[in-house]
Structure 1
């Protein structure tokens, strides 16, 4: 009790001191609030731990609301985020969900028959790695130990068995999934969604431990073959050791090693505006993310000697590459757009935002495309140059899709900072904009170019006829002397 009284006296002295300094603080002392036990469980309110193994994330609400379906599996649920939930997009979804859950059980039996191992033996490996698997997810989930093991057992054996059968399609031509292209395509898309992942290490461990012929084809080769429609290039064996899951595999297949990241301070203008200022767009077939802007030395030192407008008007000259390379040249890799493009890009971009914020290759690439593509005319120009392959039908839909991809996406550093700066500097030069205006006004097509040239010739003859009476006698007198 003396301790309480002393503490109260000290508080009153502090109260007087604060009042003298003009600080009004009211202190309420209630002995009834003093107790040995905490009122609030502080330990339960601590910030959730982010484990080093964490690599599978749920889309934040602000990103998910832009396009919820892009992050939601259509048919099959893998992992805890969508486990046991009806997240499919049609009225018959519940039936399809039940059918595919039964299919997982059949795949488990097929995997046990293939390996000669029982369920308990496979589950034992999963139980040893249970904590590590849980730490791979960004959220904790209310699934008990037994149900979690069953979920991972069914999901992992389903994936491994699917990869093995897809590798030998001729032998398994009657497989329920592989013989149905639409079903197989939907499952492929579901298996690369970020929220719908299992850690790659558990698939690899089960495959190598229980499949005797695993050394003939590593599981990453099976995965690359199954997801070949989305794979740009097969990563090297050393890089495959870093793969976290299938979404990470797709991203890794598109990444380049020679790109440097730094803060982007300038943003390029649209493709049509760059085209008007003499930039020639050319298809680049070296990879999805490899984009370059080239300017010859003569064009850099003397921008007014940029005759790109002449190459565009005189179609016969475009076949000479020596002339083309003397002009500003923007090389862009092919961008194939179909029904699955948006979902694929959104999930890779989500992974980069959550796990690779300083090496966001795909986010940076889509960000540059967002500035280049603003209207239907920009899309039409890139389609004309064979850079965009449109499998959606509407050019306006493509422009709208590209513009929405970067909504709520933050960019700390960009691997295209130098490219954006070069494009901005090119457009800022007065000579390039003037040439663009002349081309748009007088050389926009072959007919207008012909009329302009004929008009210039007629103007030249008329001007000469006007000044000839005054100039000709002086010339004759000079010759006489």
Structure 2
């Protein structure tokens, strides 16, 4: 009996030691982890692998690194010398060492805030390197945008082929600086140079990225003024003037493509307003603002969608817009119909290329809140009404244009007259 008791106590002791060792190991691993960044300020993200794996090059800078996420990338070092040359030119324009020290002081005082904007910790980038990086990148962005808007001279020390690549890289989610630190440096530089009246940096940046129709006349919009970095600015510009519609979790999807909807009598019309998101469906008419698509559109939209997935999943305006287009467009024939109606204008070569691009944009984009569920529901109901399809079929087959319509009416009248004559003849016999 005593032997069994001693054995049980020994066994319990071994269990206790193992449990204690596991807890000790876990505590050690937890202590070795760097503390997580404050999530309240975080808005610049490493794009999740689920999205990145679909098209890695859409999220990766091709020429220039901005901020810490791609800091030290060997493939982007060609531009480090260009940044230094830009900084030298910047200093030569009434910026003494004392003025530069003022800029360094601004960044030092806000270093903690700046780091909190990023989804990753950068403990391996020391304070001195971090401040130097922010200063060089902020100065480059300010000078690049300023000089790009000088149509006569343009940016100095940059080969012409670099211009479009840099402009596209500055839109990427992983390639951002907090807007507030660029703004503070910009304002301090204006004071040092005594440049009055100064063009606000927000207006300058909006104008710089304003090749799309939807970006015009948005500088006074409160949402635009609250932008936290350049990718966020582009998103806010896109949703400027958006109709107030409630987000829901009903997740009603559009079941039918543009060509199918036309067979149910839906008419397509290009809306006059500039906000791309303001889609309407009333009395069988689908109104969509014109969408202009070039070869840079996909990269631009993918980064805004990635921002929404990470930062604004319950206000995912652009994700919802692309999902609506994805359901509306299933083939080149759907694109052709929308091009014919003036709703889409594109330079991708053929309609099949645009159809494929739109369908792939939605890959691995998660379902969050829905913005167009009421419109989708009305359009689904419209298509599923048998009378709408029958009426549309009659109109398309027998009345597609004035000539066939006239022929159809004439044939119907002739048939009626023949029938009347036949009845009259039969009556006269009897």
> Structure 1 length as normaliser, TM-score?
0.78
| 2:370 corresponding residue in structure 1 | 414
Q: Residues 174 and 352 (structure 1 numbering): CA distance in 2 closer, same or farther, change over 3 Å?
A: closer
Residue 127 (structure 1) aligned with residue 108 (structure 2): yes
CA distance in 2, matches of 1:386, 1:71: 30
Total equivalences in the alignment:
411
| 1:162 corresponding residue in structure 2 | 144
| 1:369 corresponding residue in structure 2 | 325
| 1:274 corresponding residue in structure 2 | 261
Shift, 1:240, TM fit: 4.1
Q: Residues 117 and 163 (structure 1 numbering): CA distance in 2 closer, same or farther, change over 3 Å?
A: farther
CA distance in 1, matches of 2:371, 2:428: 64
Displacement over 6 Å in runs of 4+? 8-12
Shift, 1:436, TM fit: 2.8
| 1:469 corresponding residue in structure 2 | 425
CA distance in 1, matches of 2:22, 2:260: 72
Shift, 1:273, TM fit: 1.4
Shift, 1:217, TM fit: 1.3
Conserved 8 A contact 1:208-1:214? no
CA distance in 1, matches of 2:281, 2:23: 67
Structure 1 counterpart SS, 2:364: coil
Residue 456 (structure 1) aligned with residue 387 (structure 2): no
| 1:143 corresponding residue in structure 2 | 125
Give the one of 281, 284, 308 matched to 1:352: 308
CA distance in 1, matches of 2:389, 2:20: 76
Q: Which runs of 5+ in 2 are unaligned?
A: none
Conserved 8 A contact 1:375-1:399? yes
Conserved 8 A contact 2:202-2:225? no
Larger radius of gyration between Structure 1 and Structure 2: 1
Structure 2 counterpart SS, 1:211: helix
CA distance in 2, matches of 1:240, 1:373: 30
Of 401-410 and 137-146, the range deviating more from structure 2? 137-146
Conserved 8 A contact 2:103-2:188? no
Residue 188 (structure 1) aligned with residue 191 (structure 2): no
Q: Residues 185 and 214 (structure 1 numbering): CA distance in 2 closer, same or farther, change over 3 Å?
A: farther
CA distance in 1, matches of 2:16, 2:298: 61
> Structure 2 length as normaliser, TM-score?
0.87
Shift, 1:197, TM fit: 0.5
CA distance in 1, matches of 2:413, 2:18: 103
| 1:311 corresponding residue in structure 2 | none
Q: Residues 446 and 393 (structure 1 numbering): CA distance in 2 closer, same or farther, change over 3 Å?
A: farther
Shift, 1:189, TM fit: 0.9
Q: Residues 39 and 211 (structure 1 numbering): CA distance in 2 closer, same or farther, change over 3 Å?
A: same
Structure 1 counterpart SS, 2:131: helix
Structure 1 counterpart SS, 2:314: coil
Shift, 1:265, TM fit: 4.0
CA distance in 1, matches of 2:22, 2:390: 81
